[in-house]
Amino acid sequence: MCAIAGIQGEEISNQLREMLETLKHRGEDGSGVFSGDKLSYGALDEMEIPRGNFALGHNLLSIVGREVVQPLADGKLVLVCNGEIYNFRELKRDFHLQTNSDSDCEVILALIKKFYTGSLREALKETIKYLEGDYAFAVYDGVDLAVIRDPVGVKPVYYGIDQNRYGIDQKLQAFASERKALWKIGIQEVETLKPGYMLYNWEMEELEENFKAIAERFNTKFNQDLRGKTDVKPYLKDKTAIKPYLKNQLETRLIDSVKKRLRGLSRVGVMFSGGIDSTILAHLSREMGVETILYTVGREDSADFKFAHKSAEDMGLPIRLGKVTMDDVRDYLPRVLNAIEEFNLMKLGVAMPAYLAAEMAREDGIKVMLSGQGADELFAGYHRYLKFYQEQGEEAQKNLNTDINNLYQVNLQRDDAVTMASGVELRVPYLDLDVINMAMNIPMEYKIKGEDDQLRKCILREVARDLGVPEENVKRPKKAAQYGSGIDKMLRRVLKDEDILKNEDIKFYI
């Protein structure tokens, strides 16, 4: 993962430098700039940025050593990218793409070039049909600029326009991986680029290849495949008898998703609570031969802390336990606020343990962590879904779908921000498109077992049991991160202290 930025206006070289300096924590392995139709690479504080009225910038975080400095250029096309394309090797093979390295971002550029016949918009519409991954990228062809993020919204992009920076109708326009980079150059009104949309010449355009279209295509193919399976046909008339098939399909897709996200890694961290979601990820990572280290943060007497320690011992995996005190919460509050860029008590309660876990991972030299984000929304983990199911039955699936569509602004932007504050990339296997679409095809009755089901996520728990996850973890009830860690109570007590609210770093976000 890296940082990307772009800016258009008058004499913007110094402003681009300020943006990249603000985003340096996202990538400290080198910087690059396209400005004045020239490419420049090197240490940001030593780089001379050519003058111009349009520029792209990039800060590199090298994870497995195959990443190359950006921006990338091929003919008139110039690209900056943040994220991972998990099927880049398959794309390179299937489309016979020629690249100079083993970089996944070079494959994006080569694919765009393959489809480019004069219209950048049309080339991108075709390109994104084939990309599997978590990404945000911008591409420029000398005339048009396009900025796109992945369909789920795992990787963030923000943009803003100062309409009268240089006088009437003299605009300053910019985009970046974090809002603070835009605030730094004086753009106060910042918008989020929504998944399923493209920022094209600074205007939002809805893409045909959006989340809804992908889901509909998957549903059609899945149902066709289902009808064609001879081993399933006898069960189609008996709805409940098809459950073993659905469970097998879910397990296969989960394994594939984790495998994709571990490709090229020798070590990985897992944000671990001992709950079913993170335990499945820890179990699969270990089974795939990757050195797996668990990270748990919380009050020493908290539910997560105690259970995670025991679970790690049961699985024979190393665990780093971060014991948090009131003083820690007070000290880290400004840093976490600066990372998530908003004062929201619920988000702070989740963000702080994630921030501290990423800090520990960085100390251990871990550059990638796995998170169970999305599993609760896909498999009805939250208690509110039980009420929806009691009232709506199978129609309750619509509530889950809505929450998945909103994940990018509720959880994903927060989690990306707090982990990247430590230069750690967070990967979310449950939010692989194949896993999402599979989960959306599973009836609610397989997620919630009756109107008094206090555990929920039934089919996921059964998959975990089949994988060999310890029974104690399989049956562990859901508890939100901020409550399981015990940090929520400490945070509320700290925020009652009027003196801490006078801290300038905190006041900025209140």
DSSP state, residue 408: I
Average pLDDT, the chain: 92
Please give the angle made by the CA atoms of 315, 432 and 366, to the nearest 5 degrees. 50
Record the pTM.
Answer: 0.93
66 has pLDDT over 70: no
Average the pLDDT over 28-44 and give the result.
95
- CA dist 35 and 23 (Å) reads 18
Domain boundaries, the chain: 3-209, 212-478
Please give the pLDDT value at position 157: 98
Q: Does domain 3-209 have CATH number 3.10.105.10?
A: no
Quickly state the pLDDT bin for 233 (edges 50, 70, 90).
low
Please give the pLDDT value at position 484: 73
Please give the pLDDT value at position 211: 64
Please give the pLDDT value at position 296: 96
- Alpha carbon 108 to its chain centroid, in Å, reads 19
Q: What is the DSSP string of 173-185?
A: EEEESSHHHHHHT
Please give the pLDDT value at position 227: 64
- pLDDT, one tens digit per residue, over 458-480 is 999 999 999 999 999 999 987 76
Please give the pLDDT value at position 228: 64
Q: What is the dihedral of CA 475, 478, 482, 487, to 10 degrees?
A: -40
- Contact at 8 Å (CB) between 117 and 127? no
Quickly state the pLDDT bin for 310 (edges 50, 70, 90).
very high
Average the pLDDT over 347-371 and give the result.
97
Hey, how many other C-beta atoms are within 10 angstroms of the C-beta on 169?
Answer: 7
- Alpha carbon 503 to its chain centroid, in Å, reads 30
- pLDDT, one tens digit per residue, over 265-307 is 999 999 999 999 999 999 999 999 999 999 999 998 887 888 9
According to CATH, the topology of domain 212-478 is Rossmann fold (3.40.50)
Catalytic positions: 2
Please give the pLDDT value at position 482: 65
More confident residue, 426 or 100: 426
Please give the pLDDT value at position 63: 85
Q: What is the DSSP string of 96-127?
A: T---SSS-HHHHHHHHHHHH-SS-HHHHHHHH
